[in-house]
A and B are shown apart, each in its own frame.
Chain A
Amino acid sequence: MRGNNLAVELLENILVRLPVKSIIRFKCVEKSWFSLFQNPSFIAKHHRHRCSITNPSFLIMSQDYSGGDIIIMSLLHPPHNDVDDTQVQIVDMNIRFDTNLISMRFLRPNICTCINGIICVGGSFSGDFDGFFLWNPAIRQYKVVPYPTLPYPPALHVFNTDINFAFGYDHNSNDYKVVRIVNYGRDYNIFVHVYTLSTDSWRQKINIAIDLSNITFLSTFDEKYLNGVYYWFCILKNTDKHGRVFNCEVILSFDMTNEVFRMLSLPEFRNVPHHIKSFALFNECLAFILFNKRRTTMEANLEIWVMCESGVQESWTKQLVVGPLLGVRNPLGFAKNGELLLLVCDDEQTIAVYNIGSQEIKILQFRDFPNSFKTSEAISYVESLVSFKGDNVVQY
C-alpha cells in the first residue's frame, strides 16, 4: 500500500472491525494506535460493532449445589446457522486466580452478571474474602474489589439480614457501578453503597427516596440488567385500608445513571399453581416469563409478557405463548433478538434451544458435569476491550 497515512476516521473505521485479540496484539504498532485502543469512545464503537455482526455467545453458569458452591462458567458459541447444532464450541472460562487474592471457591455467590463483555462475579470467597471481581476474559484481565465493611459488626447480624447487589453501566458517564443494599430488618436502616469503577471507590447513598424496608428480594439470580437499569423481583408488604397486611409481587428497579430506585408492577397474568416466574431480556425490552409444567403430562407451557416501553408498567403486553414443550425444566432466556428461547432440560444441566418461529427444539451438546452441578443462567456475551486500572488488577 502506498505511503500516505490513512486519515484517522478511515483508520478507525478499519480497526474497529478487528477482533479483540488482534487489537491487543497491535497495541505496540505505534503510539497513536496505543492511545486509540484505550479511548473510551473507540472501545464503545468497537463493542457496538462486535454486537452487530455476531450472534452473541452465551456465558453459562453452572453451580454446584452439593455444598461446594463452586461456580463453573463456560462460554458457549452457538452455531452460525440453525443446521449446525452439534458443533458448539465450549470454552472453559475458569481461570486460576492468584491464590493470594482469591480462589474460585465460593461460599455464597451473590452477583453473577455480564455487561458489555465484562463479567461481574461477587460473593464470599474462601480465604475470608468478601467482594467482587470484574473480569474481561477477552483481554485476560480482572480486578478484585472488596466490599465495604458492613455498617454493624457481625454480632448484631440478625438472621434476616438481607443483602442484595446490582452491577450496571451508566451510559452517561461511561462508567460501571456495583450497588450493595443491606437491609437488617425492620428496626434498622437500609444501607445502600455504590461503587464506581472510574473512582475505584465506594460511597454511601444517603437519600433513598423510596422506602425499602417493606421489600423482600426474592431469589439471588432472578434479576436482570437492561439498558442502564437493574431489575429485581421482590415482595412488597402492604397494608390495606383496614390495616391488614398483605403481600404483593413487584419489580424494584435501580437506574444506574440517576441512582434512583423505583417500583413497578408486574403484568396482570392469571395465577397458576406451581408456575415458575422469571425475568428475561426480549429484544431490548424487559420480559416476564411464566413457566408452567403440568405434572400429569409433563408438558411445559410458557407465557411471555414484555414491557414494551421501558419503565412504563402499563405497557406490559402478553407477547406470546410457547408450548407445549417436553423435556424442559425452566427458561434461561432469549437469544437472537427473541427468535430463540433457551431452556434447561430435565437433567438440570443440558441446554435446549427452541426456535419460536419454526417451533423446533434442539439440544446443545454441552459438557459433562458431575450430577451436583445445575445450569442456572445463560447470559449473552460479546467480547470487548474494556480494561481496568487501579489496585488489584491482574493481567494473566
Chain B
Amino acid sequence: MALELKSSDNKIFEVEELVAVQSETIKSLVEDGCADNVIPLPNVDSKTLELVLDWCKNHVDMKLDEEKLKEYEDKFIEVDQAVLYDLLLAANYLNIKDLLNRACQKVADMLKGKTPEQIRETLNIVNDFSPEEEEEIRKENLWAFEE
C-alpha cells in the first residue's frame, strides 16, 4: 500500500504505508481513513522530508539488525545545526519517537558545554534578566562556569 505525501514546497513523495506509519501523525490519519488522497505536510520542506523518510525506511529495513541500525543512526544524526533543527521540528510534528529522541539528544549534546550567551545566540533567546539579576544568579553558582 503506497501513500503520497506532499512537502511544504509542493513536492510529492510516494512511500510505502509501512514506512510512513512510523510517524504517529500519519498513522492516525491512515487509521481514520483520511489517507486516500495526497497527505499535505505544510510544516516539512522536501529536503527534510527526504531525510525523514530515509530514516523511516531504514528503520523498517534494518529492524532486526541492531548493530547496523545503530551505525546508521549515528551517521544520520551527524548533520549541521540548521538541518538538525529542521529534523527536530519535523520529528516533533510528524511524531516519530525514535528520531525525536535522537535529535533531542544531539541538540542537548551540542548545548552541553556552551555558555549562557552562546545558548541565547544558538536558540535565538532574548535575555529578560536585568544585568544585576543575572549577576546574582551567576555568583551563586560560580563553580558551574569553571571547567
Contact = CB atoms under 8 A, between A and B. Distances in A.
B144 A21 contact: yes
Contacts of A15: 108
Nearest to A3: B124
A116 B90 CA distance: 34
Contacts of B145: 25
A6 B104 contact: no
Nearest to B128: A31
Contacts of A31: 128-129
Interface of A: 1-7, 10, 13-15, 17-19, 21-22, 24-31, 34, 139-140, 395
A6 B123 contact: yes
Contacts of A139: 141
Given A3-B124, A24-B144, A17 B85 contact: no
B92 A25 contact: no
Interface string B135-147: 0011011011100
B137 A22 contact: no
A15 B92 CA distance: 15
A28 B137 CA distance: 6
Contacts of A34: 129, 137
Contacts of A13: 100-101, 104
A17 B113 CA distance: 13
B81 interface: yes
B62 to A, nearest CB: 23
B134 A18 contact: no
Contact of A18 (B81, B112, B123, B126): B112
A167 B26 CA distance: 48
A24 B140 CA distance: 10
Interface in B70-119: 81-82, 85, 88-89, 92, 100-101, 104-105, 107-108, 111-113, 115-116, 119
Contact of B116 (A2, A4, A29): A29
Given A3-B124, A13-B100, A18-B112, A27 B107 contact: no
A140 B128 CA distance: 26
Contact of A5 (B104, B107, B124, B144): B124
Interface residues of B, number: 36
A25 B101 CA distance: 23
9 contacts: A1-B85, A1-B122, A1-B124, A5-B123, A21-B144, A22-B111, A22-B113, A22-B144, A34-B129
A395 B141 contact: yes
Given A27-B137, A29-B116, A1 B125 contact: no
Given A1-B81, A1-B85, A14 B108 contact: yes
B127 interface: yes
Which DSSP category, helix, strand, loop or mixed, fits chain B's interface? helix
Contacts of B122: 1
A6 to B, nearest CB: 7
Contacts of B113: 22
Contacts of B127: 29-30
Given A1-B123, A10-B92, A30-B126, A24 B104 contact: no
A395 B140 contact: yes
A18 B85 CA distance: 17
A176 to B, nearest CB: 22
A4 to B, nearest CB: 8
Contact of A17 (B82, B108, B137, B138): B108
Given A13-B100, A26-B111, 6 more contacts: A1-B85, A4-B124, A18-B111, A22-B144, A28-B134, A29-B125
B11 interface: no
B21 to A, nearest CB: 22
A7 to B, nearest CB: 7
A29 B120 contact: yes
Nearest to A395: B140
Nearest to A2: B85
B13 to A, nearest CB: 23
Which of A1, A14, A28, A30: most chain B CB closer than 10 A?
A28
A20 to B, nearest CB: 9
Across the A-B interface, the 10 shortest Cβ-Cβ residue pairs: A17-B108, A24-B144, A25-B144, A28-B137, A1-B85, A13-B104, A14-B104, A29-B116, A28-B134, A3-B124
Contacts of A14: 104, 107-108, 111
A25 to B, nearest CB: 4
Nearest to B133: A28
A93 B116 CA distance: 28
Nearest to A10: B92
B120 A19 contact: no
Contacts of B107: 14
